[in-house]
């Protein structure tokens, strides 16, 4: 994995830390490392939830424009698919994820944040998809994930103009889920992810897959996905533990094994 991306695990929570001075540009090396990190935390049984974090100053201020400047059309035909594969790996981590956003989350940085289940932003954070100002379109999911979060009209406003939104507007339109003081972003993200440590891992995985994949299909197909996930939980230890605990002790007291 790149020296600019590291994975730290503590108390069941993994932090994927982007650390490439000064503004955490997501160049090819970092993009590939994020894909590797996603695979690592997905496979680690000691990880119940994941935080994506760029540090106290900036989440990620976009792709490395200098790196892309001399890339040709054939170069980008190949790389565009690879970029999306790396970000899709993040989106498909089968565990709860949150982006802890300080400073800027722009372009690929915003697209990375949108791959997470939740987004917590600092009060002074700025988010946006400014690719149109460079004469290009978003390429790491911005035209697809943004309208799914905020609706097509609001998404087109941001995509057509390339303008940044502050944390208050991002919260109002549904681009972020919570706004807190800058020095509380990471701790708030840990508190949110701590809710899932010790939870029924396979049920959480099934819920995430049913919601995410269900958003891509018609209602009947989505309901069929839900039925399959629901039935599947009856093959888990946690289902037996949860139901037995509920009958004997009431709700919210089960001690799950993650199996």
What is the rounded end-to-end Cα distance, in angstroms, of the chain? 29
Q: Do domains 5-194 and 201-249 have the same CATH topology?
A: no
Architecture in CATH for domain 201-249? Orthogonal Bundle (1.10)
pLDDT above 80 for 45: yes
102-150 pLDDT, tens digit per residue, is 999 999 999 999 999 999 999 999 999 999 999 999 999 999 999 999 9
137-192 pLDDT, tens digit per residue, is 999 999 999 999 999 999 999 999 999 999 999 999 999 999 999 999 999 999 99
Structure letter (DSSP) for residue 167: H
Instruction: Give the pLDDT score at 64.
Output: 84
Instruction: Give the pLDDT score at 93.
Output: 98
Structure letter (DSSP) for residue 134: G
CATH number of 5-194: 3.90.226.10
32: pLDDT confidence band, cut at 50, 70 and 90? very high
Can you give the residue ranges of every domain in the chain? 5-194, 201-249
In degrees and rounded to multiples of 5, residue 70 shows phi and psi of -100, 10
- Residues assigned a catalytic role: 111, 131
65-115 pLDDT, tens digit per residue, is 888 888 899 989 999 999 999 999 999 999 999 999 999 999 999 999 999
Integer Cα distance of 99 and 254 in angstroms = 28
Percent of the chain with pLDDT over 70: 100
HSE-CB for 21 with a 13 A CA cutoff: 0
In degrees and rounded to multiples of 5, residue 83 shows phi and psi of -55, -50
Instruction: Give the pLDDT score at 172.
Output: 98
């Amino acid at each position: 994995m790149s020296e600019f991306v590291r994975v730290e695990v503590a108390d069941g929570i993994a932090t994927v830390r982007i650390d490439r001075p000064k503004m955490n540009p997501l160049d090819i090396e970092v993009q590939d490392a994020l894909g590797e990190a996603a695979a690592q935390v997905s496979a680690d049984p000691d990880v119940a939830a994941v935080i994506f974090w760029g540090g106290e100053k900036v989440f990620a201020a976009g792709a490395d424009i200098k790196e892309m400047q001399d890339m040709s059309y054939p170069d980008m035909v190949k790389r565009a698919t690879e970029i999306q594969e790396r970000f899709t790996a993040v989106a498909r981590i089968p565990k709860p994820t949150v982006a802890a956003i300080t400073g800027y989350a722009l372009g690929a940085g915003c697209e990375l944040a949108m791959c997470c289940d939740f987004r917590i932003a600092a009060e002074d954070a700025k988010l946006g998809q400014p690719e149109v100002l460079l004469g290009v379109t978003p390429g790491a999911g911005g035209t697809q994930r943004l309208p799914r979060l905020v609706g097509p009209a609001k998404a087109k406003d941001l995509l057509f103009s390339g303008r940044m939104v502050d944390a208050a507007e991002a919260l109002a339109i549904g681009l972020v889920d919570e706004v807190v003081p800058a020095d509380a972003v990471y701790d708030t993200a840990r508190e949110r992810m701590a809710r899932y440590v010790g939870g029924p891992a396979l049920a959480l995985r099934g819920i995430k897959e049913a919601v995410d994949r269900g958003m891509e299909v018609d209602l009947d197909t989505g309901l069929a996905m839900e039925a399959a996930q629901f039935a599947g939980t009856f093959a888990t230890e946690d289902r037996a533990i949860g139901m037995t605990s509920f009958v004997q002790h009431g709700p919210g007291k089960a001690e799950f094994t993650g199996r």
